[in-house]
Amino acid sequence: MYRLAIIGFGVVGQGLAEILLKHKARLKKENGFEFSVVAVSDFVKGAAYDPKGLDLAKVLALAKENRISEYRGAKTGWNAIDTIVKSNADVVVEATFTDIKTAEPAYSHFKAALKSGKHLVTTNKGPTALFFREVAALAKSRKLQFRYEGTVASGTPALNLAGLCLAGNEIREIRGIVNGTTNFILTNMEKGKSYGEALKEAQDLGFAEAIPDADVEGFDAMAKVIILAKAVMGADIEVADVARTGITKITLDDINSAKAEGKRWKLIGRVAREGGAVRASVRPEKLDVADPLAGVGGATNALTFSTDLIRNVTIIGPGAGKIETGYAILVDLLAINRTAPAVKKAAPKKAAKRMKKIRKPAKKAKR
Active site residues: 224
Query: Which range in 18-26, 139-147, 255-263, 267-275 contacts a second copy by CB under 8 A?
Result: 18-26
Tell me if 30 contacts a second copy by CB under 8 A. Answer: yes
3-state secondary structure 37-100: EEEEEECCCEEEECCCCCCHHHHHHHHHCCCHHHCCCCEECCCHHHHHHHCCCCEEEECCCCCC
* Binding flag, residue 318, a second copy (CB under 8 A): yes
Q: How far is the CB of 112 from a second copy (least distance, A)?
A: 27
At 222 the three-state DSSP class reads helix
Stretch that binds a second copy, among 65-73, 76-84, 101-109, 307-315 (CB under 8 A): 307-315
Distance CA 136, CA 2 (A): 21
Query: How far is 7 from 81, CA to CA, in rounded Å?
Result: 9
How many residues at the interface with a second copy, by CB under 8 A? 46
356: contact with a second copy by CB under 8 A: no
Q: Exposed (0-12), middle (13-18) or buried (19+): which is 335, by Cβ within 10 Å?
A: middle
Question: Which burial class, exposed, middle or buried, applies to 73 when counting CB atoms under 10 A from its CB (0-12, 13-18, 19+)?
Answer: exposed
- Which residue, 68 or 294, is less far from a second copy as judged by CB? 294
CB nearer to a second copy: give 26 or 259.
Answer: 26
Residue 52-81 contact track with a second copy, rule CB under 8 A, x = bound: ------------------------------
Give 290 or 343: the residue with its C-beta nearer to a second copy. 290
Among 72, 249, 311, 356, binds a second copy (CB under 8 A): 311
Q: Which is nearer to a second copy, 32 or 77 (CB)?
A: 32
Of 27, 93, 139, 214, the residue at the interface with a second copy (CB under 8 A) is: 27
Is residue 19 within the footprint of a second copy (CB under 8 A)? Answer: yes
Does residue 367 bind a second copy (CB under 8 A)?
no
CA distances for 291 relative to 166, 302, 312, 313, 314, angstroms? 20, 11, 11, 12, 10
Mark 149-183 as b/e (b = at least 16 C-beta within 10 Å). bbbbbbbbbbbbbbeeebeebebbbbbbbbbbbbb
Nearest-approach distance from CB 223 to a second copy, in angstroms: 21
Q: What residues between 199 and 238 interact with a second copy by CB under 8 A?
A: none
For 27, 141, 156, the CA distances from 160, given in Å and listed in that order, are 19, 22, 9
Q: Least distance from C-beta 60 to a second copy, angstroms? A: 17
Nearer to a second copy, 164 or 346 (CB): 164
For residue 105, say if its preceding peptide bond is cis, omega within 30 degrees of 0: yes
Q: Is 358 helix (H, G, I), strand (E, B) or coil?
A: helix
> Is 21 a binder of a second copy (CB under 8 A)?
no
Please answer whether residues 78 and 51 qualify as being in contact, where contact means their C-beta atoms are separated by less than 8 angstroms.
Answer: no
Task: Report the residue from 60, 292, 342, 358 that binds a second copy according to the rule CB under 8 A.
Answer: 292
What is the closest distance, in whole angstroms, from the C-beta atom of residue 211 to a second copy in the complex? 29
- Residue 168 as a binder of a second copy (CB under 8 A): the answer is yes
Chain centroid, CA 320 distance in Å: 10
295 lines the binding site for a second copy (CB under 8 A): yes
DSSP code, position 155: B
Q: What is the DSSP letter of 105?
A: T
For a second copy, the binding residues (CB under 8 A) are 19, 23, 26-27, 30-31, 33, 154-157, 160-161, 164-170, 289-290, 292, 294-297, 309-318, 321, 323-324, 326-327, 330-331, 334-335
